[in-house]
């Protein structure tokens, strides 16, 4: 009895590798983006990097990959999906430090916000489209239930078209 090769045509579950219509509001994110950002931890530094958003598993999910070209900021990856019954979106995030977070997502026309509510460390990030080739994000964070403060905020310039 041989091992099942899941990366070949005829894969188990292949019929489910189709676009998820609930994720249409995220279409504006699709593509590769050059980022320039700021963070209060390094106030005099422009933080450059790359973020990509692409359809995963035929469009059943959205995958985000990000890197900031500054060693103190981790590279990360996230998968975004939907819950049709609840009418909600979620993101599961993981980065090179081994940090994993589950985030709630809300969306509107040309906007998306994800939040991680944890009494030890809470985060929020909103991304707004300022046209087809430019996005602007605003990050916020709260340590140990303290006041909300600025976190990583970025401008995204399209580097490659979306699908």
Give me the residue spans of the domains in the chain: 26-160
Kindly tell me if the per-residue pLDDT of 66 is higher than 50. Answer: yes
Higher pLDDT, 144 or 12: 144
Distance CA 112, CA 106 (A): 6
Q: Rounded to an integer, what distance in angstroms lies between the CA atom of residue 163 and that of residue 159?
A: 13
Distance between CA atoms of residues 163 and 144, nearest Å: 40
- Which CATH code fits 26-160? 2.40.128.20
Each residue's pLDDT tens digit, 135-156: 999 999 999 999 999 999 999 9
What tens digit of pLDDT does each residue of 18-65 get?
Answer: 999 999 999 999 999 999 999 999 999 999 999 999 999 999 999 999
- Which residues, at least 6 apart from 44, have a Cβ–Cβ distance to it below 8 Å? none
Over 80: is that where the pLDDT of 7 sits?
A: no
Please tell me the distance from the alpha carbon of residue 20 to that of residue 61, in angstroms, as a whole number: 7
Mean pLDDT on 70-90? 96
> What is the share, in percent, of the chain residues with pLDDT greater than 90?
86
β-sheet bridge partners, residue 157 = 34, 134
pTM for the structure as a whole: 0.88
């Amino acid at each position: 009895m041989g091992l099942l090769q899941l990366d070949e045509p005829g894969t188990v579950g292949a019929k489910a590798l189709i676009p998820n219509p609930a994720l249409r509001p995220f279409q504006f994110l699709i593509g590769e983006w050059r980022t320039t950002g700021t963070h209060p931890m390094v106030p005099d530094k422009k933080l450059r990097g790359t973020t990509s958003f692409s359809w995963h598993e035929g469009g059943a999910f959205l995958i985000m990959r990000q890197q900031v070209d500054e060693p103190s900021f981790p590279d990360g990856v996230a998968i975004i999906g939907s819950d049709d019954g609840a009418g909600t979106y979620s993101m599961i995030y993981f980065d090179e430090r081994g940090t994993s977070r589950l985030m709630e997502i809300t969306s509107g026309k040309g906007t998306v916000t994800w939040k991680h509510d944890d009494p030890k460390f809470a985060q929020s990030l909103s991304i707004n489209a300022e046209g087809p080739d430019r996005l602007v994000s605003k990050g916020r964070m709260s340590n140990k239930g303290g006041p909300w403060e600025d976190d990583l905020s970025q401008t995204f310039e399209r580097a490659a078209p979306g699908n």
